């Protein structure tokens, strides 16, 4: 149930208290929280015309909060306040540097394209600018499924003709032409530096021992190891014809699902020994000898509890290790396992990166409410996960579906979930959820090539991470997970100290010149 009058009062309150800029959030309240409403002619944004840093000694401070602020901007100065002797100090140390950040983004699923197409052309373009535009989230990554996923309206691959080992019947699907390629090309227009990672959920069923696109023990038959690489290369060729270069390709989405009884997800199973053999003797050398020899190979593309064991077992095959660039991780079991596993994976082979390639809320049996419009709790899950991955060697964080409908679909097995943007085609609107802003607090300001730096923080209620950008700006992200204000002092050895009052349940991005 909507509470439009409450949302209007909130909007007036925000405007009267100085929380405005060129295009503010138009709030709408639902039973589960506040969304920002966009349509064909209006959407809140963060104007590129704002100067990044006006002068040394000054900082920008962007705040989003459970109470309704959405990337609201204010300024402060170092050494302009007297901190309480009891205020905790968070110390930035730009001299201690860690991994280089590659980017943030979301997935171009069939469901994403279907839902965007349910809006007017102007509203469609508004969504794309919201994610990939300079005034939007400035996403720099995108994930492209190779064939269908559960977030399709049907199960399919690019060659469903049994026994077609020459792949003469290989062809992209109508879904590629209607729901993926047009929006991927628009993302490239908005951000020419965007990079794409692709994952197949399954090989064609006839290449698998169970002859199904899903189901138990759906492993790739060894006699088709080379054929399957040819299949993937054909995908790379077809997308390149449309001006879409694929930066990286994973060994397959969530191979562990093939070991789960009654799981209906599209899947294809690997063991560490079979995937290492496939990479060493087929995928690695065949890609290297093709025009796609710069395409990265990422292993795992599955849950955190499988690391560092799976990479360790795969890397024992030195030939396979040579061809592997990094490990792709999904977030769904992160709450049950320590992030130290990410450190162990990094320490296992520091030259191999870690990339989080899929996250969403509303998944699983415990989430009865698939779409919770305006849920701040789900935004909190996002921001805490991103901070955790950044602080434990992750080079990026990729969301799942960019756009879904109010039911969290479509999904051919009814595995509906939530998304940062939800469409409302009846009124040609879309809703930007708090999850959208949680991601934007990073993607908008932590550009590719930024380096994570040290941030000493002993507070239990304030999570934090920090970076230096290629333009030599410091970006600090703080999340107050407490239900009361937190007074903190941010200290930088080159600039001094600044007092910050963090609102309850608030995301804070602070930017200043180093």
> Are 200 and 124 within one domain?
yes
What pLDDT is attached to residue 339?
97
Measured CA to CA, the distance from residue 141 to residue 132 in angstroms comes to 9
Indicate if 209 and 315 belong to the same structural domain. Answer: yes
d(CA 308, CA 456) in angstroms, rounded, equals 26
Cβ-based neighbours of 366, under 8 Å, separated by 6 or more:
none
Nearest to 392 by CA among 310, 314, 468, 327: 327
Residue 237 falls in the annotated catalytic set: no
User: What is the model's pTM?
Assistant: 0.94
290-297's contacts with Cβ under 8 Å and 24+ in sequence apart are 290/233, 292/233, 292/236, 292/246, 295/236, 295/246, 295/247, 295/248, 295/249, 296/197, 296/247, 296/248, 296/249, 296/325, 296/326, 297/248, 297/249, 297/250, 297/251, 297/323, 297/324, 297/325
- Identify the CA nearest to 427 among candidates 32, 42, 106: 42
Q: 175 and 292 in one domain?
A: yes
Full domain range(s) for residue 212: 102-445
Last residue of a domain, one of 445, 474, 489: 445
Contact predicate 160/120, CB 8 Å: no
Residue appearing with tokens 């009846």: 426
Q: How far apart are CA 222 and CA 211, in angstroms?
A: 14
Q: Are residue 122 and residue 19 in the same domain, yes or no?
A: no
Which residue carries 């991927």 as its tokens?
Answer: 184
CATH number at residue 89: 2.60.40.1180
> What is the three-class DSSP state of 81?
coil
The three-state secondary structure class of 113 is helix
The interaxial angle of helices 121-132 and 110-117, nearest 10 deg, is 130
DSSP, collapsed to helix, strand or coil, labels residue 174 as helix
Taking the C-alpha atoms of residue 11 and residue 5, their distance in angstroms, rounded to an integer, is 10
Q: Are residues 349 and 476 in the same domain?
A: no
Q: CA 184 to CA 296: how far, in whole Å?
A: 19
Same domain? 346 vs 478: no
Residues 509 and 371 reside in one and the same domain:
no
**Residue numbers in the chain where pLDDT is lower than 50:** 1-21
Cα distance between residue 150 and residue 257, in whole Å: 13
Residues 6+ apart with CB under 8 A from 109: 145, 149, 151, 152, 400, 401, 402
Q: In terms of domains, do 10 and 130 share one?
A: no
What is the pLDDT at residue 48?
Answer: 75
301-330 per-position pLDDT tens digit: 999 999 999 999 999 999 999 999 999 999
> What pLDDT is recorded for position 52?
59
Catalytic hit among 29, 175, 254, 447: 254
Residue 152: give its domain's CATH number: 3.20.20.80
Domain boundary among 419, 445, 471: 445
Q: What is the pLDDT of residue 10?
A: 43
Instruction: Examine the domain organization and report whether 457 and 408 are in the same domain.
Output: no
The pLDDT of residue 473 is: 95
The SS3 of residue 207 is helix
254 is known as an active-site residue:
yes
CB 510 within 8 A of CB 475: yes
Look at residue 5 in the predicted model and tell me its pLDDT. 42
121 CB-near residues (< 8 Å, 6+ apart)? none
Give the whole-angstrom CA distance, residue 213 versus residue 74: 52
Looking at the fold, whether 129 and 78 belong to one and the same domain comes out as no
213, 279: one domain: yes
- Residue 413, C-beta contacts closer than 8 angstroms, at least 6 positions apart: 150, 264, 265
Domain boundary pick from 397, 412, 445: 445
29, 175, 306, 358: the catalytic one is: 358
Between CA 408 and CA 72 the distance in angstroms is 28
> Number of folded domains in the chain?
2
Q: Residue 510: is it exposed, middle or buried by C-beta count within 10 angstroms (0-12/13-18/19+)?
A: buried
**3-class SS at 431?**
strand
C-alpha to C-alpha distances, 449 to 66, 122, 440, nearest whole angstrom: 31, 33, 17
Q: Are residues 167 and 50 in the same domain?
A: no
CA distance linking residue 119 with residue 125, whole number of Å: 10
Residue 175: the pLDDT is 98
**CB of 395 within 8 A of CB of 248?**
no
**pLDDT value of residue 18:** 38
């Amino acid at each position: 149930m909507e509470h439009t009058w409450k949302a209007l009062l909130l909007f007036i309150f925000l405007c009267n208290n100085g929380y405005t800029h060129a295009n503010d959030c138009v709030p709408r309240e639902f039973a589960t929280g506040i969304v920002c409403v966009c349509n064909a002619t209006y959407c809140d944004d963060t104007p590129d015309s704002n100067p990044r840093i006006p002068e040394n000694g000054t900082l920008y401070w962007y705040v989003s909060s459970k109470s309704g602020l959405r990337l609201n901007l204010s300024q402060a100065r170092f050494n302009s306040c007297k901190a309480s002797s009891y205020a905790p100090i968070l110390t930035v140390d730009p001299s201690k540097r860690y991994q280089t950040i590659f980017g943030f983004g979301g997935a171009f699923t069939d469901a994403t394209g279907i839902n965007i197409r349910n809006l007017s052309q102007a509203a469609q373009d508004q969504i794309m600018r919201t994610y990939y535009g300079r005034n939007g989230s400035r996403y720099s990554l995108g994930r492209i499924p190779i064939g269908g996923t559960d977030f399709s309206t049907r199960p399919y691959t690019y060659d469903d003709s049994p026994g077609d080992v020459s792949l003469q019947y290989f062809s992209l699907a109508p879904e590629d032409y209607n729901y993926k390629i047009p929006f991927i090309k628009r993302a490239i227009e908005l951000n020419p530096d965007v990079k794409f990672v692709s994952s197949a959920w399954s090989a064609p069923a006839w290449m698998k021992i169970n002859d199904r696109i899903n189901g138990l023990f759906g492993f790739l038959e060894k006699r088709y190891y080379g054929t399957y690489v040819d299949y993937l290369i054909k995908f790379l060729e077809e997308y390149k014809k449309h001006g879409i270069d694929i930066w990286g390709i994973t060994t397959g989405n969530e191979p562990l699902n093939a070991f789960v009884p009654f799981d209906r997800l599209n899947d294809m199973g690997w063991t560490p020994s079979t995937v290492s053999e496939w990479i060493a003797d087929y995928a690695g050398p065949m890609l290297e000898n093709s025009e796609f020899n710069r395409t990265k190979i990422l292993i795992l593309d599955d849950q955190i509890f499988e690391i560092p064991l799976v990479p360790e077992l795969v890397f024992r095959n030195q030939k396979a290790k040579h061809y592997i660039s990094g490990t792709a991780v999904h977030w769904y079991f992160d709450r049950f396992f320590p992030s130290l596993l990410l450190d162990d994976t990094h320490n296992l082979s520091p030259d191999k990166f870690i990339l989080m390639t899929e996250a969403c809320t509303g998944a699983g049996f415990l989430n009865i409410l698939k779409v919770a419009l305006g849920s701040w709790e789900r935004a909190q899950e996002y921001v805490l996960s991103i901070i955790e991955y950044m602080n434990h060697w992750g080079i990026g964080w990729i969301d799942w579906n960019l756009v879904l409908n109010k039911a969290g679909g479509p999904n051919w097995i009814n595995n509906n979930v939530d998304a940062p943007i939800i469409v409302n085609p009846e009124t040609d609107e879309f809703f930007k959820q708090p999850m959208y802003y949680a991601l934007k607090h990073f993607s908008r300001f932590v550009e590719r090539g930024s380096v994570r730096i040290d941030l000493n923080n002993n507070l239990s209620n304030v999570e934090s991470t920090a970076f230096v950008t290629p333009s030599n700006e410091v970006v600090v992200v703080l999340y107050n997970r407490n239900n009361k204000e937190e007074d903190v002092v941010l200290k930088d050895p080159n600039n001094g100290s600044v007092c910050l009052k963090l609102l309850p349940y608030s995301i804070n991005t602070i930017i200043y010149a180093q």
